Amino acid sequence: MDIKKVHIVIPIVMAGIIGYLGTKIMDIKKVHIVIPIVMAGIIGYFGTEIMDIKKVHILIPIVMAGIIGYLGIPHISRPSSQPVRQVDLDETSLVISRMSYPQPFVDKPQRTDVLLMSPWLAPIMWEGTFNRDILNAQYRQKKFVVGVATFAVKKYVRFIEGFLGSANKFFLSGHRVNFYLFTDHPEKVPSMKLAPEKSLFIIPVQNYSRWQDISMNRMDIISNRIRTHWHYEVDYLYSMDIDVQMFEHIGVEIIDTLVGTISSWQYTKPRDSNSYERRPESRAAIPSGEGDFYYAASFYGGSVSEVYKLTTACFKGVTEDRANGIEAKWHEESHLNKYLLYHKPTRLLSPEYYWDEELPRPQIIRVKRLSSVRKDLEEVRS
């Protein structure tokens, strides 16, 4: 046996094996055992013969097959950097109790006067298109917590009582809700008794000289609070204006990954007539000929992780616009519309979920669930 050639072959074979399997996958303890086995195999295979390159070509796959069999196929069938996804096959599925409700028929749609599904198959919530009893029976078993972020800065503190009073009655009744109220006047927050499943958290915040700055900085405040607190506290998060009141139930039909509300002002307008930011120098710009629906910044939300992505991206656009000396047409709402155009909502809320009191109510709006409060905008923003 040519000992010099054996000394050369052994590290070459082992280097190839380790390189192929990856040092992170191989158990170092097993490598220590495998090395002498490989050496013994090579010595036994060659004996005292001079090494032949043809025999080495035969030997390598034999050694590799032995290593694979020893270490186990799973070690090389999956990259080490890819996490193992474990599914609990014994997890109990949701079971709702027996209920009595009208039978659905595929040839008898519940509404034919409105669009019920977006082109990307996101459902649009309208009165008469869902059964809240069935939804509640399902969602109560999930035991989720919903957060609501709202801002009452400067003169907007006058709307706190109306908002909380109506939300306590109509918003996700029977489900756990945390109201996060940001205000520069904590001492002016009225003392209110909420339902047992609802909690109020008052968070001091600075005010700004311009109402536009208050509006645009909400995205940054929400993003930071998600990162530091809310991703530990809630499963879903919604941002709502404080100067609104609820008149009908808003329930679990709003729960989804990413949710936008179609504006009551522009739900029938063609895209080129909507209030999108069209100036290309703004980060909120939507090119002419593009646009789905126009979404209201007064009510949007979704899972905590998705709202974090949304608010972070929107505030990044606001910051870049400021650096370039430009302000989007409708402030953070313009950035919201840009984001939701390219990150499609998984669920849409019809204009029922934010109807403006200044508008006449058409027949398709069967219920007015949430509405803005009549006010003198110039006075309240001063």
Distance, in Å, from the CA atom of 178 to the CA atom of 236, rounded to the nearest integer, reads: 10
Measured CA distances, 322 to 226, 315, 325, 327 (Å): 23, 10, 5, 7
Measured CA distances, 77 to 22, 85, 374 (Å): 12, 14, 64
* Residue tagged 């027949």 (tokens): 363
Q: Which of 333, 357, 358, 379 is catalytic?
A: 333
Please list, in sequence order, all residues whose beta carbon lies within 8 angstroms of the beta carbon of residue 148, skipping any fewer than 6 positions away: 167, 171, 177, 178, 179, 180, 237, 238, 239, 240
- DSSP-derived pairing of the beta strands 145-152 and 176-183: parallel
Q: In the annotation, is 333 catalytic?
A: yes
Distance, in Å, from the CA atom of 39 to the CA atom of 134, rounded to the nearest integer, reads: 68
Instruction: Judge whether 214 and 151 are in contact, CB under 8 Å.
Output: yes
Instruction: Judge whether 197 and 173 are in contact, CB under 8 Å.
Output: no
Tokens representing 367 are 């219920």
Outline where DSSP puts E strands in 64-191: 124-125, 145-152, 176-183
Distance, in Å, from the CA atom of 381 to the CA atom of 362, rounded to the nearest integer, reads: 30
Distance, in Å, from the CA atom of 297 to the CA atom of 255, rounded to the nearest integer, reads: 17
Residue 117 bridge partners (DSSP): 123
Residue 203 bridge partners (DSSP): 182
Active site members: 333
